[in-house]
Structure 1
Amino acid sequence: MSARVPSRHPRPLIWLHWLTLLLVLAAVVVALSREWIDSRDLRALLLDAHRQIGLVVFGLTLVRLFWRGRGEHAFATDADGVHRWLVRGSHASFYLLLATLPVLGLLASQARGQAVHLLGLPLPTLLARNRDLAEQITEIHEWSAWSLLALAAGHAAAALWHHYIRGDDTLRRMLPSLRIR
């Protein structure tokens, strides 16, 4: 027998979810905008902003994982079979990517010989300068970022499917006190 699913997720979880989304989108926009900038100084500033956003996403992800570890996050329990596997697998993939992308970015920067700071404080150096390793880590970081965006698109499509096709409360449970029909 399935456990009762609350009508809404806890408010802090809802805000962490949407804040994470906004920060991930900001990180993508900042990273991609560097491609169209000629100024070396502005490109460096954007890279630093990208790193700062990534590190904040990492921190939020740790908070979200802690929250989940406390068992205060209920998924829809009417899911079964493949649907349940997809729900659990996609959420595990989200957390894996949200936690590893910032670490990969940090390692790529350090392998390039660049110090990384969080709010002005230097982070410990984990890797020595190694251009080949930096390129490999950067490639993994980029593929992981595109994977995260594809997963997010699938996640949004699934939420809309639940709302408009199945007609259940999955989407409403995660919306921040908005009314939608």
Structure 2
Amino acid sequence: MSSATYSPWMRRLHWIIALCVGIALLLIELKGWFPRGSATRRAVQWGHIQFGIAVLVLMAPRVLVRLRAATPPITPPSPPWQMVLSKLVHAALLLLTVGIPVLGVSMMFVSGKPWNLLGLALPTMTTPDSTLAHQLKEVHETCGNVLMWLAIAHVAAALYHHFVQRDDTLLRMAPGLRNRSR
């Protein structure tokens, strides 16, 4: 197997973003367990927003790091159809991890409801548009569900590569490994 891995920054950002996405998804699922208007429900919603904004903020350096560094080769190489599918899934994950938080921020902005980032008040439209906010919410939720299933497929594919195909796909992004390609 190859000893090439992604850069340490790429691996760190990958796993931090994966953790933030996972927590945001978990929080929004937990929100439904609490009564409307309750302090707990509002706190869970607040946490979802905080982790969603964190994903958006972290995606900027992740994209920059990704553009600067080449993708390490998979050893042994995967069949061409798997490489094409991998590129499509990664592109979709990238679009969703940027697009979903943008939709959420847009929804909060047009809703006119007060919201904040770690206590710092964020702007809202002076004339709220509840119809547009609802439409953005629907798209945000649908895309969130797509992201959840794509992330599950992404994890399943990594495990398939590791345990069935026995290549180094998973090891290239594994945390804690030194970049031995240098």
Q: TM-score, normalised by structure 1?
A: 0.86
Aligned partner of 1:149 in structure 2 is 148
Does the C-alpha gap of structure 1 residues 168 and 81 become closer, same or farther in structure 2, counting only changes over 3 Å? closer
- 5 Å-filtered alignment, 1:6-21, equals 7-21=4-18
Match of 2:59 among 20, 43, 61: 61
User: 1:11-160 alignment to 2 at 5 Å?
Assistant: 11-38=8-35, 40-70=38-68, 72-76=69-73, 78-79=77-78, 81-125=80-124, 128-160=127-159
Amino acid at match of 1:45: A
Partners of 1:29 and 1:54 lie apart in 2 by 12
RMSD over aligned Cα atoms: 2.1
Structure 2 distance, partners of 1:9, 1:28, is: 26
Give the gaps of 5 or more residues in structure 2.
178-182
Kept after mapping to 2: 8 A contact 1:97/1:148: yes
Deviations 1:97-131 (A, max 9, x none): 00011111111122221233222333344684112
Distance in 1 (CA, whole Å) between partners of 2:155 and 2:73 is 16
Q: Secondary structure at the match of 2:32?
A: helix
- Please identify runs of 4+ aligned residues in structure 1 that moved more than 6 A: none
**Structure-2-length-normalised TM-score:** 0.85
| Matched position secondary structure for 1:36 | coil
Preserved contact between residue 27 and residue 45 of structure 2 (Cα < 8 Å): yes
Relative contact order: is structure 1 or structure 2 higher (C-alpha 8 Å, sep ≥ 6)?
2
Q: How many residues align?
A: 173
Q: Which runs of 5+ in 1 are unaligned?
A: none
The structure-2 alpha-carbon separation of the partners of 1:49 and 1:7, relative to structure 1 and needing over 3 Å to count, comes to same
Secondary structure at the aligned position of 1:58 is classed as helix
Task: Indicate if the aligned counterparts of 1:112 and 1:129 stay in contact, CA closer than 8 A.
Answer: yes
Percent of aligned pairs sharing the same letter: 33
